[in-house]
Amino acid sequence: MDTVREQANTPVKSNIFITGKDVPVRRDGDSPDQKNAGNEVFLNIFSPGEVAGGTSKYQIAEQIVFNQQEDTRDRRGDITLLINGMPVIHIELKASGVDVFEATNQIKKYIQERKFQGFMSLVQVFWAITPEDALYFANPGTAERMNSAFFFHWGDRDNHIIREWREIIDGESRILSIPEAHRMIGYYAIADKEKDTLKVCRSYQYIAIRAIVERVSRQKWGDHDQLGGFVWCTTGGGKTMTSFKAGQLIIDKGYADNVVFLVDRKALDSQSKQEYNSFAPVGRKVVETKSAFDLFNKLVSSHADNQMLLTSIQKMSKITDKNEEKRKDELEKIKRKRIVFIVDEAHRSQFGEMHQNVKNTFYNALFIGFTGTPIFPENMREGEMTTESVFGRCLAVYSLATGIRDGNVLGFYPKGEKTYDDDDVLRKKVAQRESNADSMEDAKKDPEKWKIYRYFTTKAPMETQYDERGNIKKDRNGRNLKGIEDYLVPSQYDNPEHRRSVVENIINNSNFPHRMVC
């Protein structure tokens, strides 16, 4: 107990205590273990990988009596799950018809009354369950740090909320069953050391991490299959924690020699490194590279400290056969290694020449992308590639709509607004382009140009006209009644003049609470 009080008196410390490979414990002088009495010994008390067998033992305790405090009432908890004798998940239950937040309030009261101190401070995750609803959250440590924004519903692969307790225990996800409850504590409860906060993955993060790790586990190294897949994750979806945890598990399970977190130079700063390493368990860190030369040396190295690297695509793209002729043998060694690239912001900026250079050099590597704006055939620009063609199939989805539903992204209300003063301006622009004339005066000089110019300024409809079968209608001269709007090209909007008019429109016509000064 003294060891628990010393090493696990906060949720972050308790997570490190539980999930650490070896825990130092000093034997009492009168310990039955006379050989080590008074000495420090190292115990392996929890193993994330020893799931549903091996050295792991599971117990369920009902109606446990919390330690009595002088100034508080006697309290009994509903259900506690213990792994190897340690309480790691606590569940509070309420009857049908009672709001599930009554159960979270019960947990808050117990925390206020210091019931989750000492031995019970090892609890990592709380569940609040009624027959109609269920929430879970990481141990906040104090009642003041409890925040309903971090109470999560569990969801399925399509992000549909699961409220029925039977589904949570014995459904497809079975998150409160063994082995999943064990994995939740061992893999998906994460100590954020920088913020001194214990965090637990949301269901879509859990699904994405598992999908990535499973994909890497199936990789047949040497087949040069580079398409690892991509994760569609909107802003606010916890992408950094998801990508880090996936990378950590890939290395811990021995599925790859290196994991390289690949970001754009603009995103590569000290904050990126701090964020990754804040999640890293003891003995596992993400190493930043200072230059392409430093990156090359760390990739050649077989040292455990260099297994997880953070670098920019700009540095990585400089490592090529042409640039490394003097170190050709070492480059060949790197190419033979099992390297997983986890690409941040895998949108259009990553589809260019630098990305292809990296792929050409590291032909044995596996590439996995994270993006909030995937490119599909329907939103693909001319000459572009889809996200799937660059990274492979979609592994998991947390879309903008789901992020808004969960409160991770602010909602918005789209409103159509003209950015040209009138339709005549738009007509004239289309007419000039279609008649290949610089102006109306220029069009009048050529009868054919003038005919085309007049059609678009006076007769062409603004919107394309369709018949009942969905075909474009024709006028009496056999011309398709294609609308002016369908003749627009990106250049008419993608220019400084138009962008300036949009900003002026917003400033002049929007009801801001305070006037903006640009």
pLDDT at 518: 43
Same-domain pairing of 345 and 233: yes
Q: Which of 56-65, 257-266, 437-446 has the lowest mean pLDDT?
A: 257-266
User: Residue 141: exposed, middle, or buried by beta-carbon count in 10 A (0-12, 13-18, 19+)?
Assistant: buried
Same-domain pairing of 221 and 272: yes
Please say if the pLDDT value at position 515 is more than 50: no
User: Of 183, 200, 217, at which residue does a domain stop?
Assistant: 200
> Residue 402: left (phi > 0), alpha (psi -120 to 50), or beta?
alpha
Q: How confident is the model at residue 416 (pLDDT cuts 50, 70, 90)?
A: low
In a domain, 43, yes or no: yes
In a domain, 324, yes or no: yes
Mean pLDDT rounded to a whole number for the chain: 85
Same-domain pairing of 173 and 211: no
Please say if the pLDDT value at position 350 is more than 60: no
Residue 163 DSSP SS3: coil
Q: How confident is the model at residue 267 (pLDDT cuts 50, 70, 90)?
A: low
Which structural domain, as residue segments, surrounds residue 339?
203-397
Same-domain pairing of 429 and 343: no
Please say if the pLDDT value at position 483 is more than 90: no
Same-domain pairing of 436 and 292: no
User: Of 200, 230, 245, at which residue does a domain stop?
Assistant: 200
Same-domain pairing of 211 and 111: no
% of the chain at pLDDT higher than 90? 45
In a domain, 249, yes or no: yes
User: Residue 493: exposed, middle, or buried by beta-carbon count in 10 A (0-12, 13-18, 19+)?
Assistant: middle
pLDDT at 196: 92
pLDDT at 504: 82
Same-domain pairing of 450 and 499: yes
User: Of 146, 171, 200, at which residue does a domain stop?
Assistant: 200
In a domain, 311, yes or no: yes
pLDDT at 400: 87
Q: How confident is the model at residue 517 (pLDDT cuts 50, 70, 90)?
A: very low
In a domain, 68, yes or no: yes
Same-domain pairing of 188 and 233: no
Q: What average pLDDT score do residues 331-359 get?
A: 83
Phi, psi of 369, deg, nearest 5: -110, 150
Cis peptide before 447 (omega within 30 of 0): no
Please say if the pLDDT value at position 511 is more than 80: no
310, β-bridge pairs: 261, 288
Same-domain pairing of 75 and 62: yes
Same-domain pairing of 360 and 456: no
Please say if the pLDDT value at position 119 is more than 50: yes
DSSP letter for each residue of 413-453: ------SSS-HHHHHHHHHHHHHT-SSHHHHHTSHHHHHHH
* Residue type at position 357: N
In a domain, 212, yes or no: yes
Maximum mean pLDDT: which of 45-49, 437-441, 468-472: 437-441
State how far the Cα of 336 lies from the Cα of 5, in Å rounded to an integer: 48
Q: What average pLDDT score do residues 246-263 get?
A: 94
CATH of the domain at 320: 3.40.50.300
Please say if the pLDDT value at position 305 is more than 70: yes
| Total domains, the chain | 3
pTM (2 d.p.): 0.78
Please say if the pLDDT value at position 310 is more than 80: yes
Closest Cα partner for 188 from 56, 281, 122? Answer: 281
Please say if the pLDDT value at position 321 is more than 60: yes
State how far the Cα of 353 lies from the Cα of 69, in Å rounded to an integer: 66
Q: What average pLDDT score do residues 160-186 get?
A: 89
In a domain, 503, yes or no: yes
CATH of the domain at 96: 3.90.1570.50
Q: What average pLDDT score do residues 250-268 get?
A: 86
State how far the Cα of 43 lies from the Cα of 169, in Å rounded to an integer: 31
For residue 173 the two structure tokens come to 């996800």
Q: How confident is the model at residue 215 (pLDDT cuts 50, 70, 90)?
A: very high
Same-domain pairing of 175 and 249: no
Same-domain pairing of 102 and 71: yes
Residue 343 DSSP SS3: strand
pLDDT at 45: 77
pLDDT at 108: 96
Q: How far apart are the first and last CA of the chain?
A: 60
Please say if the pLDDT value at position 285 is more than 90: no
Please say if the pLDDT value at position 458 is more than 90: no
pLDDT at 516: 45
In a domain, 499, yes or no: yes
